[in-house]
Structure 1
């Protein structure tokens, strides 16, 4: 997979975490340490779920049946549509902020990474390449989340930013899915 494709996937996947991080950052009661823990959670689960998805996709393609890129593109496009639907249903509401939510929110913004890992990262031949690609996805999510928390300090009055991040991420995944199908 090319660096540009991997970066595009990482940015699209991190936009869920970006939207949640902006929403959390807009809350005046959330402390700096909580923001760091949320960003670490988002980055770790993006890495972990995309790694699990990539290995599950490799095992599925090796031992059960090969999934052609057309099917992978369709699945990624469907994930993009689901992200847009989630953004529509979210209506800009901020998730409940509790210390126990680090794991729950980290996992919830990373479910799509497992699907993308299953379909887009399964054809990588070496384990080291899979690990570095998924680690890259996690690091990009960590950086995007930290940036969202910094940005939220300046955007406390604009609540629409977090609401539209799901739409943008969904559109990017749909475009990438269509690229996999037709190119």
Structure 2
């Protein structure tokens, strides 16, 4: 997997955390860089950790399904992408009234925004991606976008939340299709 492909996947995965960070920034009366870094560490840490768990799980059974692993990668990324697009059109808004960075609240948000990264980790196992550099890159990208999301939310408000989710969904679907087509046309 090339660095560009990894960057595109990292962007797609980090869009949920970016959207939640916008929401957190929205309710902050004044921009606080310490809080932005704390949010970035939660979201970036979980976005880096979940693919490791997925990778370990995927590595356990990748030999048994090598002949159709590209279909699994396509399916997982497609489902995640479609779900993100669907959420971008949802009228249901995130609860933005809680501006605190309470560890329990942040833990729940970090897990919720990184579940899709678990499935991507399974895909990484099938594609034999070098996991340490990949998750480091995903974590750093998510950290950066989460910090930026706090700032964007504080300055501009919620108008970017649905666009971020929609874009992330499209990116993941396109990467899944690329993996599938690349495998089908290599044969």
TM-score (norm 1): 0.87
Structure 2 residue runs without a partner (length 5+): 183-187
Post-superposition shift, 1:147? Answer: 1.2
Deviations 1:56-114 (A, max 9, x none): 1111213x433421221122111100111222335443355241211000010000001
Would you say the 8 A contact 1:20–1:94 is kept in 2? no
Q: In 1, distance between residues paired with 2:16 and 2:91?
A: 12
Which is richer in helix? 2
Q: Hey, what does 1:131 align to over in structure 2? A: 132
Q: How has the CA–CA distance of structure 1 residues 61 and 83 changed in structure 2, closer, same or farther, with 3 Å as cutoff?
A: same
Would you say the 8 A contact 2:87–2:165 is kept in 1? yes
Specify the SS of the correspondent of 2:128.
coil
Matches within 5 A, 1:22-171: 22-28=22-28, 32-62=33-63, 64-66=64-66, 67-89=68-90, 91-95=92-96, 97=98, 98=100, 99=102, 100-124=104-128, 129-156=130-157, 159-171=158-170
Structure 1 residue runs without a partner (length 5+): none
Q: In 1, distance between residues paired with 2:114 and 2:162?
A: 17
Deviations 1:99-146 (A, max 9, x none): 121100001000000111111344326xxx311211111111001111
Specify the SS of the correspondent of 1:93.
coil
Specify the SS of the correspondent of 1:21.
helix
TM-score (norm 2): 0.85
User: CA RMSD of the aligned region, Å?
Assistant: 2.0
Q: How has the CA–CA distance of structure 1 residues 43 and 181 changed in structure 2, closer, same or farther, with 3 Å as cutoff?
A: same
